[in-house]
Amino acid sequence: MKNCNDHPKVLVIHGPNLNMLGKREPDVYGKTTLDEINKNLENQGKSLGLAVETFQSNHEGAIVDKIQDAGELQSGLIINPAAYTHTSIAIRDAILLLDIPVIEIHLSNIYKREPFRHKSMIADVAAGQISGFGTYGYKMALDAITEMIKPAN
């Protein structure tokens, strides 16, 4: 387990357009901003004994680079690939390089939306997927990954 000051590290990656949360389609994605989500994750991480790092990019290559680095630095990965969920073989292939638990998350229920959103390129290479719970899904994901990276007793 990779540690930062004796705390396991978890990386949370937010994909394209998530920097516009709070402004973009609030009826679908809610009014909470990405900064608020990140702050909540950092606070929850502290209470769980985790160091949480967050990263957002609108650029597929930057996300791939961050995933590749995660294997050396992180104990777990939570990723909301956003629109890249449905298109990015590059992100999927980068996740395949990892030997850490990965949880895919979506604010909206992608299976209740347009048909093109029903296919995830990530789902079969992630340990699990959380979809449709809004910002609460991030809390669920952090709780789940905490359980996954706990040392076995």
7 is catalytic: no
Catalytic choice (29, 84, 86, 118): 29
DSSP conformation class of 84: G
Helical (H) or strand (E) element with 58: none
Helical (H) or strand (E) element with 140: helix 136-149
Give the separation between CA 84 and CA 87, rounded to whole angstroms.
Answer: 5
138 is catalytic: no
Helix (H, G, I), strand (E, B) or coil at 127: coil
Give the separation between CA 133 and CA 111, rounded to whole angstroms.
Answer: 13
Phi, psi of 102 (to 5 degrees): -130, 130
Catalytic choice (7, 59, 86, 106): 106
Among all residues, which ones are annotated catalytic?
A: 29, 106
